């Protein structure tokens, strides 16, 4: 499926752009330069080398990460959300599993063609409209448990820096003013264009010297504008990220991320103009591109009118369901959104939830079955820890890490549900607690949120009283000579009612255990 999606994306790309590179141009393309600095022992896919390379940081104390944030008018659907959830998972892995301090900055595009057009349609101020969508995006990310970046940067707050950025590129001779007054980056003059992908034609325009040239400053039309040395206008799309990231992080960035569709032309253009500005051969050391969400082999996008809003998605599913879906695949892969794939995510989360609850009941002494092979279980736990660590260090391979975690859950479950007599009449709390703690903490490190209120003593006591009364009634109703179907039905009704309050009740012969739903 991924190969199909990848080919579909390339096919659609080629329908819009045509190859314009020559053999000479390809020879002039810059290669990836291995950074000098702190070895992390993590490998990461590199779109320039087309293979995995070692992740080396400029400074061992922190990692700099710039995220291409939303064009706020076009952000509030589940397809875009996958990109940010994938980035959030990787950020958490770096922090929790490799003890790397991540410094993240995200751009908020609050001025562009779509926002201006929408503001005119609604007869609103573009600033007010952009702010509304920005707040909606931030709230959506909060609902999806995506950690906020250290800094949100609005494009309109950086216009003076953008003007200075464009001016410096022009002073170096790598940009020109066209006949209509716009400023374009001169890809032929720069000479190293096409680092991330073979040079492709951009939109054809009589104002450009070359089809691959791109706009740095747009001449004023019937829209908001700022004064500049080239006349009134506004920033081009690509220049905003280069300027903001350079203002915050300088002439070198460890990681720059975005959706797979941003590889060309957005990220290609960013790298070219930033290298020109800073006079360096490599501005970004590592590019991360997240796969898209597909519906029936079509990318989810507003232009295809097949999007599902985040709010609508959350009416049926939880943030944890979306995160599980992402964890089951590599961040680079396209994801299929369907009842089948979502049911897999729902079922797996349910399995994890019940496993943790069963472990809690066993540890608390409310579980009267199970034969635990302590040596075998602890050996499996150690093997899982090693496998998960190895997988996450291998280009953040969460799919394999999930497979290893599920294997550990299955092994433990088999021992917990062994109905034979307990050996030597004793329990093995320590290994079960060790496994439960590892599984819980690992999923928590991936951003799977735990919404339990089980630490509230009064609620626990109340539930315990209800369950105790129900246990007495049920056991009496099960006595063969007085079996009472009416009372048994009443007990089932209580169990159902409590499940609606996130209280899970499990009956095992004459024993009853309970737990609060955590996920």
CB 93 within 8 A of CB 391: no
The 10s digit of each residue's pLDDT in 265-293 is 999 999 999 999 999 999 999 999 999 99
Give how far Cα 221 sits from Cα of 88, 124, 231, 449, Å: 38, 18, 11, 48
Task: Beginning with the edge strand found earlier in the chain, give each strand of the sheet holding 298-299 in spatial order.
Answer: 298-299, 293-295, 335-336
CB 67 within 8 A of CB 83: no
Name beta bridge partners: 56. 39
CA distance 49 to 53: 8
Give how far Cα 188 sits from Cα of 173, 204, 211, 333, Å: 11, 15, 10, 33
Contacts of 308 (CB under 8 A, 6+ apart): 77, 78, 79, 300, 337
Q: What is the distance between the terminal CA atoms of the chain, rounded to a whole angstrom?
A: 30
Mean pLDDT over 69-76 rounds to 73
H/E segment holding residue 470: helix 457-478
Q: Which single residue is written with the structure tokens 């349910």?
A: 350
Q: State yes or no: pLDDT of 5 exceeds 50.
A: no
Q: State yes or no: pLDDT of 20 exceeds 60.
A: no
The 10s digit of each residue's pLDDT in 349-385 is 999 999 999 999 999 888 878 899 999 999 999 999 9
Name beta bridge partners: 176. 184
User: pLDDT averaged over the chain?
Assistant: 87
Three-state SS for 319? helix
Report residue 426's pLDDT band, with 50, 70 and 90 as the boundaries. low
Report residue 302's pLDDT band, with 50, 70 and 90 as the boundaries. confident
In this structure, of 13-22, 74-83, 270-279, the range with the lowest mean pLDDT score is: 13-22
The 10s digit of each residue's pLDDT in 131-169 is 999 999 999 999 999 999 999 999 999 999 999 999 999
pLDDT of residue 432: 96
Mean pLDDT over 463-483 rounds to 74
Contacts of 459 (CB under 8 A, 6+ apart): 453
Which ranges of 217-267 does DSSP label H, i.e. alpha helix? 237-249
Q: In terms of residues, how long is the chain?
A: 519
Beta-sheet pairing, 63-67 with 102-108:
parallel
Three-state SS for 228? coil
CA distance 509 to 89: 41
Q: State yes or no: pLDDT of 230 exceeds 80.
A: yes
Give the global pTM. 0.84
pLDDT of residue 313: 93
CB 153 within 8 A of CB 107: yes
Backbone phi, then psi, for 196, in 5-degree steps?
A: -85, -30
């Amino acid at each position: 499926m991924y190969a199909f999606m990848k080919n579909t994306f390339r096919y659609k790309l080629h329908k819009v752009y045509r190859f314009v590179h020559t053999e000479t141009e390809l020879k002039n393309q810059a290669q990836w330069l291995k950074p000098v600095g702190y070895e992390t022992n993590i490998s990461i896919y590199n779109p320039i080398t087309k293979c995995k390379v070692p992740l080396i940081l400029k400074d061992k104390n922190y990692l700099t990460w710039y995220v291409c944030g939303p064009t706020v008018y076009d952000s509030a659907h589940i397809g875009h959300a996958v990109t940010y959830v994938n980035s959030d998972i990787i950020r958490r892995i770096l922090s929790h599993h490799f003890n790397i301090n991540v410094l993240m900055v995200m751009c908020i595009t609050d001025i562009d063609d779509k926002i201006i057009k929408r503001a005119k349609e609604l007869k609103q101020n573009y600033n007010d409209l952009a702010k509304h969508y920005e707040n909606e995006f931030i709230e959506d990310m909060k609902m999806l448990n995506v950690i906020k970046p250290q800094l949100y940067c609005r494009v309109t707050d950086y216009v003076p820096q953008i003007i200075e950025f464009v001016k410096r590129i022009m002073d170096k001779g790598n940009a020109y003013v066209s006949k209509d007054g716009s400023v374009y980056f001169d890809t032929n003059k720069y000479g190293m264009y096409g680092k991330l992908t073979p040079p492709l034609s951009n939109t054809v325009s009589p104002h450009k010297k070359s089809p691959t040239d791109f706009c740095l400053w747009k001449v004023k039309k019937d829209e908001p504008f700022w004064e500049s040395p080239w006349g009134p206008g506004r920033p081009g799309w690509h220049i905003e990220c280069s300027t903001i990231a350079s203002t915050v992080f300088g002439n070198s960035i460890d990681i720059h991320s975005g959706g797979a569709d941003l590889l060309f032309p957005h990220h290609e253009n960013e790298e070219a103009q930033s290298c020109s500005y800073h006079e360096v051969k490599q501005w970004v050391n590592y590019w991360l591109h997240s796969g898209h969400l597909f519906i029936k082999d079509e990318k989810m996008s507003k232009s295809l009118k097949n999007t599902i809003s985040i709010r609508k998605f959350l009416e049926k599913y939880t943030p944890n369901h979306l995160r599980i879906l992402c964890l089951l695949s590599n961040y680079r892969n396209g994801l299929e959104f369907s009842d089948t794939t979502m049911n897999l995510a729902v079922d797996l989360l349910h399995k994890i939830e019940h496993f943790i609850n069963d472990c809690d009941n066993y540890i608390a002494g409310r579980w009267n079955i199970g034969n635990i092979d302590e040596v075998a279980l602890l050996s499996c736990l150690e093997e899982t820890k090693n496998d998960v660590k190895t997988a996450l260090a291998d280009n953040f391979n969460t799919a394999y890490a999930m497979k290893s975690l599920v294997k550990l859950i299955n092994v433990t479950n088999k021992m917990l549900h062994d109905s034979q007599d307990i050996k030597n009449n004793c329990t093995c709390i320590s290994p079960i607690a060790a496994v439960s703690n590892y599984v819980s903490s690992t999923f928590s490190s991936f951003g799977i949120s735990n919404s339990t209120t089980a630490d509230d003593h009064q609620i626990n006591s109340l539930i315990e009283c209800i369950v105790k009364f129900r246990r007495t009634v049920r056991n009496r109703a099960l006595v063969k000579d007085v079996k009472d179907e009416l009372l048994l039905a009443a007990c089932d009704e209580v169990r159902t009612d409590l499940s609606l309050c996130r209280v899970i009740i499990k009956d095992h012969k004459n024993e009853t255990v309970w737990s609060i739903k955590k996920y």
